[in-house]
Structure 1
Amino acid sequence: MSNNAKGLAITSLGVLIMSLESLLVKLTNIDTITFCFYLGIFIFISMAITLIIKEKEEIKVITKKSFPILIACAILMGSSNFFFISGIKNTSVANVVIIFGTSALFSALYAYLIYKEKVTKNILIASTFMIFGLFIIFKDDLGLGNMIGNIYALLAVSCFSLAFVFLSKHININRIALTATVGLYMAITSFILSDSLIIDLRTLGVLLLMGLLVNPFARVLMSNGTKYISASEATLLMIIETIMAPIWVWMFLNEIPNSNTFIGGSIIILTLVANSLYTLKRNKVKSI
């Protein structure tokens, strides 16, 4: 198996496992703050143990280099998790993951505003179609209760994309340390904001599964897989989550997205696929 094929396989498996997270959130009936406290604790434990066992020397490096940007990215990604979970608890999983799929749009905007990076023509065209798709998803939710879920999803993708732009400029930041810091931030913030952290054993089991296995395992696979494939290939594979997350929830909880989500989501997904394929083709031509 070639390195590229290995990268595609490993990353695809990581994204497929990550798509289960939305279902696990839906399986709990606790509030977002309590959920994030336990999830943050379990993510921190799993990542801190991994860091100590495998990359002990990195701990010294982290405290000397790029510490401020690591903290900033951890706050942004932790906040993204808060908003993402809040979104899932307030609207359909399909709405949230499709809105989150527009991260390329937000990343291009932030990269232009912060680093003055030129926005390519294909991103401008793709953004137009994605905005149109978002409008279709939103138009029947205006004034309704689940519009708040859509707003949470927009805040989630906005925070995540900003963190991604910073990380693209600071590639030496240790991703395991970053994930551990994200978990610690979530746990501390939730502890401060929460009135009660009491949960039942069933919910604790779901959170253990998500925090100790699904979340870290998916991200380790994705982190290793993306060493062998291009960014555009990785972006294309992320569409697996956009498609599979609503399918898992439909299979186990019978949550069916409305027609506008199907129409708007199809426009966004097809746009993402077309843009990723175009980028792949363009990069191959350049390398010849």
Structure 2
Amino acid sequence: MITILGVLLMSLETVFMKVTSIESVTFTFYIGIFMFLSLNIILLITLKKKTISVYKVSLKPILMCGFILGISIIFFVSAIKTTTVANTVFLLASSPLFSAFYSYLFYKEKSKKNIYIVSFFIFLGLGVIFFSQLGSGDMMGNIYALICTNFYALYFVVLSKHKAANRFAIISFGGFIAATISFFLASSFVIDMSTLMILLLAGLLVVPISRVLISAGTQHLPASEVTLLLTLESVAAPFFVWLILKEVPSNGTFIGGLIIVLALFINSLYLLKVSKNT
């Protein structure tokens, strides 16, 4: 339930990104700064002098996970700004496949047969989305989304191995990394008052709280199950954007996304059945 609430909140982020006209790296810079400030203020209020020790005790996982998260945030915002929300979140739905790959690559955790079956349908869905948009302006955004998906999957794999590390500190450092890199890439930092209000709402509340809730899920669930729950965003985010901004996904995106979501949903039901029988 914690993870699901975090995913629903994260689905609202796409609306904030779409309604602002500033470039993606400028948006990421402000979001990153606000994330860093808000989460460290929470740590200082709750832990006071122990805040520094939180960073010292878990410095390695904070640096590793924060860096990976920061990169994923940059590519996520770039994808949302460059292609449709549906394209981005349907590609992000393929993260369980990459989680299984990175779990084996770095921790030698072997995947079960169902992962290989699901992988086939995920690749099929990804192929439909990409080939339906060859030569269109959405292709670059799709590539950004696929890069984001890889970093996001890797983030949860590494994070699930460090259950004791403070999630607020990790996400705070992720915001710092995103802001630092974006600072050198942005051409302008000038924003109007309405944009500032949107950035404050997103950066101080929605983005950090959603990441904290989702990251907290890794303390109770394996990375593969957390990334499976992220597929909920594939339905929620396009719905919110359609409801508010009337953005409609293309036929290719809809068909490819439907293949991915259905494959992951059926796999989730299978995993639930297996867990009840063991």
Task: Report how far residue 69 of structure 1 moved.
Answer: 3.1
Task: Note the C-alpha offset of 1:101.
Answer: 0.8
Q: Which runs of 5+ in 2 are unaligned?
A: none
Distance 1:233 1:82 in 2: 24
State TM-score, norm by structure 1: 0.89
Equivalent residue number for residue 194 of structure 1: 186
Q: Given that residues 163 and 219 in structure 2 are in contact (C-alpha distance below 8 angstroms), is that contact kept between their aligned partners in structure 1?
A: no
Task: Determine the structure 1 residue equivalent to 2:74.
Answer: 82
Any conservation in 2 of the 1:40–1:183 contact (CA below 8 Å)?
Answer: yes
Q: Which runs of 5+ in 1 are unaligned?
A: 1-7
Alignment partners' CA distance in 1, 2:208 and 2:61: 21
Range with bigger deviation, 266-275 or 47-56: 47-56
Normalised to the residue count of structure 2, the TM-score between the two structures is 0.92
- Shift of residue 68 of structure 1? 2.8
2:133 aligned residue (141, 148, 162): 141
| Aligned counterpart, 1:207 | 199
Q: Does 1:59 align with 2:52?
A: yes
Cα shift at 1:214: 1.1
**Is the Cα contact below 8 Å between 2:58 and 2:166 reproduced in 1?**
no
Distance 1:258 1:93 in 2: 11
Q: Please tell me the residue identity of whatever aligns with 1:86.
A: S
Partner of 1:4: none
- Partners of 1:235 and 1:276 within 8 A in 2: no
Q: Deviations over 1:223-249 (max 9, x none)?
A: 556766776764454332110101111
Please state whether the residue corresponding to 2:248 is helix, strand or coil: coil
Match of 1:106 in 2: 98
Is the 1:232–1:280 contact (alpha carbons within 8 Å) kept by the matching residues of 2? Answer: no
What RMSD, in angstroms, separates the aligned Cα atoms of the two structures? 1.9
Number of residue pairs the alignment of both structures matches: 277
Distance 1:264 1:121, change over 3 A: same
* Per-residue deviation, 1:76: 1.1
1:29 to 21, 31, 41: 21
